[in-house]
């Protein structure tokens, strides 16, 4: 009997293990490009997390960590040195050393030449890389040898050790294409014309097949020098409709749904109730900040007391409990509680309709006809409340907000627009009629300059550039936003962040709602997935994923 | 005679296509927000300087008409441009999407026409079946496609596990549910037109003569009545040919199947000019050619139309 059992296990266990050498993942978006340095989108970050490694990244604990480098540069270890730039500005020279044995998927060693090429391409403005602030600041690149390189920056920021999205590009494959015509490089890069070329990838997996709009197949990269990944093949399937994605999960066509681009938390919770213990779900609070922007030049909303009253009138914990099954983190400022700079003592606005009424009375808004408050001139306390049409959860929240404001005598007239109209016209041209509910995505310790500095208020003179849609002007906030990035002392920075959150909570240029949580669903047999909650997705550590 | 008609209609198609391309370009260009606005909304790190640089790089700082002329010149030179959304040449994207859509909608159309004509014939020949057939047609017309699609997925993929819930891996198993969903949605039009046309045709004097000569019911129906009844059905099928190429957005979305419908929707919403324009023009040209083909078939079936 025992012999039969051993024979059975001998035959069956390897077969089971082999059955789990492929992992199929469902996501709701398809990457618009596979080039690491062109454009930025969550789907690309997720897929490329398997196939390439940046030099540094934020880990699951939201700390900068080395992925391709040996040690993070600091002033103390001498790898970062403050200095003067040739034109006399405060600058910094930062040195990284690449880990030994790094190779591209075709076996070519990954060296500082690949980073030099990425820097050269980024410095050339016609190449068409997205956010170029890094390249504008990094004015000199020096390769000391194949593994050691120094970048000189013309300004000092606390993030000097992080190379962000700056990733090596395979110079042996891409340099000549780029040199031939930098302007056309964007459409000629091998990343998009021949994404299955193994030489493009330096991660534990490499892309082997692409089906535009439908999915990506990745297989083990035999030249990966890190710990070998468990799964032989990863299939990332794009299913934009979340009901269909859920059906594919239940039908066993996809094994897991990525939280970064997956089911809304309320749908995931409902699914878990129906399926019991079939899947494991992990809710990870992220850096997507849902809020209501207020137009500060609106006659009523320009009064801080009115804005404070609006927030006191909202029962955010109740909304989260009822609409999202308690799966969102109520926000009190732009800073996520998981961020080390979060200040718990920041002023909080509890649901307090009586306090809201008192503030509105104090601001001169008295009860009027039909229950809507009016001021001394007889003007109604009424404005438009906009959000992205078709976003069911936002539209549901909007209804509750409208009702809760109505209870204290404030009329919010709902007017929704498709995302491209809301973002491309109403917000960016500041044409929204009072309030707009949407989300910002940021990075750990991301300084919100673009949304809060008065220089970032969009206007015709500035060709509508900038994202300070509320029109917020505050000298102290401006000073903090300018000083924060340059402050290297963590304790001093913490004080500045404390002050920033206090000013935000007092002034309320926008009403904080919550930080969205991601629902990561995976099968019980999968382990090692560590959701991060930010744009450096869990796939950057895919070599740790295992089938039980 | 037919040759002159074809030449005249082809010239009309060319002029219409040119006018359509200008209208479509202007309409998409006048929609609020450009691709850079959309990129900024998704990435707060994009500075004002980045936005200006990207607009210049993509030519979005040029007047709309100048951009149209540049695009038209490029297309006439055989270069259809690059898709901004998928980072691929437009021609490389359209081919597979068109094939996938033709496969899905072609089969759905065949099934819908076959079943619709069959049911229509049943209703015309057996009046007691007319009620149930009309009820079925009404149900098919009233049922939203996405709902039917989800019901079929829940039954056949999730509960029974017989068929995949979606995807485009290839093979009949992936096609069955979306084809049935789409065919059912289109069933009503063919059933009603066939039933009405066959009922009218069966009342014609030549049918009585055929029956008097001893022709079987099947011969009477298909040899004598159907050629006359087919004319309106072919007109409906020709109009559906445009939809055949423009895809079925809802079905493609529910079954996660890439195709022209999804491609056009994404291109228009994402301000992907090159892709949206070419895809829309392909749809327009195919619709016009299908209408021409239908006209020719109708003239062949009924020489009085010539």
The per-residue pLDDT for B244 is: 67
Interchain pair A126, B57: CB under 8 A = yes
**Cα A27 from chain centroid (whole Å):** 16
Residues composing chain B: 306
Region B8-29: mean pLDDT is 90
Q: Which of A212, A213, A467 sits opposite B44 (nearest CB)?
A: A467
Strands (DSSP E) found in A247-278: 256-257
Strands (DSSP E) found in B36-176: 82-83, 88-89
Contact A159/B at CB under 8 A: no
The per-residue pLDDT for B44 is: 64
The per-residue pLDDT for A14 is: 42
CB-facing half-sphere around the CA of B114: CA atoms within 13 A? 8
Copy the structure tokens of residue A316. 């955010």
Instruction: Report the sign of the C-alpha dihedral through residues B110, B116, B122, B124, in that order.
Output: negative
Contact A213/B at CB under 8 A: yes
pLDDT digits (tens, 9 = 90+) for B219-274: 888 888 888 888 888 878 877 776 767 768 888 888 888 888 888 888 887 778 88
B165 to chain A, closest Cα gap in Å? 5
Helix-helix angle B2-30:B64-76, to 10 degrees: 140
> Looking at the predicted structure, is the pLDDT value of residue B280 above 50?
yes
CB atoms under 10 Å from CB of A403, counted, come to: 10
A181 to chain B, closest Cα gap in Å? 13
The residue of chain B nearest to residue A212, with distances taken between CA atoms, is: B86
Q: Which of A186, A424, A463 sits opposite B52 (nearest CB)?
A: A463
**What interface predicted TM-score (ipTM) does this complex get?**
0.74
Interchain pair A421, B33: CB under 8 A = yes
Q: Which run of H or of E encompasses B55?
A: helix B48-57
Instruction: Report the sign of the C-alpha dihedral through residues A248, A250, A256, A261, in that order.
Output: positive
Contact A74/B at CB under 8 A: no
Q: For residue A42, which of A542, A538, A546, A545 has the smallest C-alpha distance?
A: A538
Substitution target from B30, B45, B50 for chain A, most A beta carbons within 10 A? B45
- What's the predicted TM-score (pTM) here? 0.82
The per-residue pLDDT for B259 is: 87
> Which residue is listed with tokens 């829940």?
B154
Helix-helix angle A392-406:A316-323, to 10 degrees: 140
* Low pLDDT (below 50) residues in chain A: 1-2, 5-18
Q: Which of B31, B87, B161 sits opposite A33 (nearest CB)?
A: B87
Interchain pair A465, B165: CB under 8 A = no
The per-residue pLDDT for A18 is: 44
A376 vs A372: CA distance, rounded Å? 13
The per-residue pLDDT for B42 is: 65
Split at pLDDT 50, 70, 90, the class of B306 is: low
Contact in structure between B120 and B192 (CB atoms under 8 Å): yes
Interchain pair A212, B93: CB under 8 A = yes
- CA angle (A13, A17, A23) in 5-degree steps: 160
Q: Which of B42, B87, B270 sits opposite A192 (nearest CB)?
A: B87
The per-residue pLDDT for A10 is: 44
The per-residue pLDDT for B207 is: 85
Copy the structure tokens of residue B228. 């006359």
Taking only residues 80 to 139 of chain A, the set having a beta carbon closer than 8 angstroms to any beta carbon of chain B reads 125-126, 128, 130-133, 136
| A194 three-state secondary structure | coil
A354 vs A116: CA distance, rounded Å? 62
A245 vs A268: CA distance, rounded Å? 11
Counting one residue from chain A and one from chain B, the pairs whose CB atoms sit within 8 A come to: 172
Cβ-Cβ contacts under 8 Å, A126 against chain B: 57
Interchain pair A420, B33: CB under 8 A = yes
End-to-end Cα spacing for chain B? 9
Interchain pair B256, A130: CB under 8 A = no
Q: List the single range of A195-199, B27-31, B175-179 with lowest mean pLDDT.
A: B27-31
Substitution target from A213, A271, A417 for chain B, most B beta carbons within 10 A? A213
The per-residue pLDDT for A11 is: 44
Copy the structure tokens of residue A161. 């050790």
The per-residue pLDDT for A428 is: 83
Q: List the single range of A256-265, A483-492, B38-47, B125-134 with lowest mean pLDDT.
A: B38-47
| A463 three-state secondary structure | coil
The per-residue pLDDT for B247 is: 64
The per-residue pLDDT for B146 is: 86
B36 to chain A, closest Cα gap in Å? 9
| A482 three-state secondary structure | helix
> Looking at the predicted structure, is the pLDDT value of residue B97 above 60?
yes
The residue of chain A nearest to residue B55, with distances taken between CA atoms, is: A128
Substitution target from A130, A244, A439 for chain B, most B beta carbons within 10 A? A244
Q: Which of A39, A253, A442 sits opposite B164 (nearest CB)?
A: A253
CB atoms under 10 Å from CB of B159, counted, come to: 11
B94 to chain A, closest Cα gap in Å? 11
Interchain pair B168, A462: CB under 8 A = no
CB atoms under 10 Å from CB of A48, counted, come to: 27
Residues 6+ apart with CB under 8 A from A59: A65, A532, A536, A541
Residues composing chain A: 548
The residue of chain B nearest to residue A126, with distances taken between CA atoms, is: B57
Query: What Å distances lie between residue A499 and A329, A335, A346, A483, CA to CA?
Result: 22, 12, 9, 12
B143 to chain A, closest Cα gap in Å? 18
Interchain pair B165, A247: CB under 8 A = yes
Q: Which of A132, A191, A428 sits opposite B50 (nearest CB)?
A: A132
């Amino acid at each position: 009997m025992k012999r039969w059992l051993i024979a059975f296990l001998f035959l069956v266990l390897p077969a089971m293990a082999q059955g789990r050498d492929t992992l199929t993942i469902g996501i709701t978006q398809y990457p618009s490009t596979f080039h690491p340095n062109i454009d930025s989108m969550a789907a690309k970050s997720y897929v490329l997390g398997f196939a390439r490694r940046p030099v540094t990244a934020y880990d699951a604990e939201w700390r900068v960590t080395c992925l391709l480098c040996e040690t993070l540069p600091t002033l103390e270890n001498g790898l970062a040195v403050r200095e003067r730039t040739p034109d006399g500005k405060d600058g910094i020279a930062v040195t990284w050393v690449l880990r030994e044995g790094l190779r591209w998927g075709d076996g070519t060693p990954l060296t500082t030449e690949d980073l030099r090429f990425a820097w050269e391409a980024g410095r050339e403005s016609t190449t068409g890389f997205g956010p170029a602030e890094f390249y504008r600041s990094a004015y000199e690149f020096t390769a000391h040898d194949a593994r050691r390189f120094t970048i000189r920056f013309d300004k000092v920021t606390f993030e000097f050790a992080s190379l962000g999205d700056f990733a090596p590009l395979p110079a042996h494959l891409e340099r000549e294409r780029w040199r031939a015509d930098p302007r056309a490089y964007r459409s000629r890069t091998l990343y998009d014309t021949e994404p299955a070329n193994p030489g493009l990838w330096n991660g534990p997996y490499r892309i082997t097949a692409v089906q535009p709009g439908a999915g990506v197949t990745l297989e083990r990269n035999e030249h990966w020098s890190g710990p070998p990944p468990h799964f032989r093949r990863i299939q990332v399937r794009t299913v934009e409709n979340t009901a269909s994605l859920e059906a594919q999960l239940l039908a066993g066509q996809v094994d897991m749904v990525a939280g970064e681009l997956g089911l809304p938390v309320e749908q995931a919770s409902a699914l878990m109730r129906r399926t019991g213990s079939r899947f494991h779900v992990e809710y990870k609070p992220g850096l997507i900040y849902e809020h209501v922007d207020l137009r500060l030049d609106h006659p009523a909303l320009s009064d801080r007391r009115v804005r404070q009253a609006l927030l006191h009138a909202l029962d955010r914990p109740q909304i989260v409990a009822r609409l999202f099954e308690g799966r969102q983190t109520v926000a009190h400022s732009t800073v996520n509680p998981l961020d080390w700079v979060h200040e718990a003592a920041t002023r909080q606005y509890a649901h307090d309709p009586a306090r809201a009424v008192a503030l509105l009375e104090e601001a001169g808004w008295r009860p009027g006809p039909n229950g809507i408050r009016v001021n001394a001139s007889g003007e109604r306390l009424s404005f438009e409340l906009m959000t992205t049409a078709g976003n069911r959860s936002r539209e549901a929240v909007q209804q509750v907000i409208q009702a809760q404001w109505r209870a204290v005598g404030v009329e919010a007239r709902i007017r929704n627009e498709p995302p491209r109209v809301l973002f491309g016209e109403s917000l960016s041209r500041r044409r929204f009629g009072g309030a707009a509910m949407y989300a910002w995505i940021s990075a750990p310790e991301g300084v919100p300059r673009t949304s809060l500095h008065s220089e970032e208020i969009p206007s015709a003179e500035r060709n509508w550039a900038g994202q300070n849609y509320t029109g917020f002007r505050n000298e102290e906030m401006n000073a903090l936003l300018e000083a924060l990035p340059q402050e290297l002392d963590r304790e001093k920075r913490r004080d500045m962040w404390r002050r920033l959150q206090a000013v935000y909570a007092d002034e309320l240029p926008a009403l904080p709602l919550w930080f969205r949580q991601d629902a990561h669903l995976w099968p019980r047999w999968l382990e090692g997935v560590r959701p991060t909650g930010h744009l450096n997705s869990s796939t950057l550590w895919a070599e740790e994923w295992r089938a039980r | 005679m037919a040759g002159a008609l074809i030449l005249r209609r082809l010239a009309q198609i060319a002029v219409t296509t040119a006018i359509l391309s200008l209208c479509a370009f202007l309409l998409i260009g006048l929609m609020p927000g450009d691709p850079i606005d959309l990129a900024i909304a998704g990435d707060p790190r994009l500075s004002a300087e980045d936005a200006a640089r990207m607009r210049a790089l993509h030519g979005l700082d040029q007047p709309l008409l100048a951009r149209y002329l540049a695009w038209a010149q490029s297309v006439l030179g055989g270069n259809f441009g690059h898709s901004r959304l998928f980072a691929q040449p437009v021609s490389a994207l359209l081919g597979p999407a068109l094939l996938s859509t033709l496969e899905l909608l072609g089969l759905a159309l065949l099934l819908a026409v076959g079943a619709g004509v069959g049911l229509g014939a049943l209703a015309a020949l057996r009046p007691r079946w007319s009620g149930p057939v009309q009820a079925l047609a009404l149900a098919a017309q009233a049922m939203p496609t996405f709902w039917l699609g989800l019901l079929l997925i829940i039954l056949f993929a999730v509960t029974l596990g017989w068929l995949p819930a979606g995807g485009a891996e290839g093979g009949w198993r992936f096609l069955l549910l979306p084809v049935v969903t789409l065919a059912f949605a289109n069933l009503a039009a063919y059933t009603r037109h066939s039933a009405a046309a066959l009922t009218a045709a069966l009342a014609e004097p030549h049918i009585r003569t055929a029956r008097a000569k001893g022709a079987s019911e099947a011969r009477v129906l298909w040899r004598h009545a159907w050629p006359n009844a087919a004319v309106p059905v072919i007109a409906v099928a020709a109009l559906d040919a445009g939809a055949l190429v423009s895809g079925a957005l809802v079905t493609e979305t529910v079954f996660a199947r890439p195709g022209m419908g999804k491609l056009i929707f994404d291109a228009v919403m994402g301000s992907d000019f090159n892709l949206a324009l070419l895809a829309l023009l392909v749809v327009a040209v195919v619709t016009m050619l299908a209408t021409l083909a239908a006209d020719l078939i109708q003239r062949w079936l009924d020489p009085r139309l010539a």
